[in-house]
Amino acid sequence: MGFINTFQRMSVEDLKEEVIGLLKQAYADGRITVDTLERRLKEATGAGDKETLIALVSDIPAPEGDSTASESREESERPWLINDRVPRESQSFFNILGGSSKTGRWQPARSITCLSLMGGVKLDFREAEFPRNGVRINAGCIMGGLEIIIPPGINADISGIPLLGGMENKTGAGNERAPALSVRGIAIMGGIEIKRKELKRKRRK
């Protein structure tokens, strides 16, 4: 079923909660009997591995009008990635008298702090796995710069204080279903820029 790949990325405890919820919903929809519900809830509560938990819901008929297939197809085709695990709360990027970058496949935290002093930081989110609630960046650029690249669809906004510097969002409107990237910062004789780019190569599944 389409949800198995997502389930495999969850922790055992998170998956247990998800399976219990699916069993209750299946009973409410009339897709399993009360005996099946009671037995499987007991098995789910005592389960200690993902395989056992997945087996408890893998044979349940899909509800009428189920959109799992179309949602799965949409997920595989969307230009941004989602982190289905619990993301880190914070991470930092500091650059003094030099340059640094973060590119490729990575998992940003919910909150990112960037400081660039007479240098430059580049954060490329095109292959990043976004937290579902989005990313907030707190940035300070002093005679330096911060370049942020996001994939199509991601929503982005920027605000702060430019002092003899600049702050610019070149991305335009995003997809209402996509996560958001919010930048708050100060640029002193420096700059902060957000722009949108396509991946040049096909994303690996």
**86-100 pLDDT, tens per residue?**
889 999 999 899 888
pLDDT given at position 1: 43
Q: CA geometry: angle at 26 spanning 22 and 28, to 5°?
A: 115
Phi, psi dihedrals of residue 77, rounded to the nearest 5°: -95, -15
pTM of the model: 0.62
What is the domain partition of the chain in residue ranges?
4-77, 82-196
Q: Residue 163 forms beta bridges with which residues?
A: 188
In the chain, what is the greatest distance between 2 CA atoms, to the nearest angstrom?
Answer: 70
Contacts of 173 (CB under 8 A, 6+ apart): 155
Give the pLDDT of residue 74. 53
CA distance 21 to 93: 39
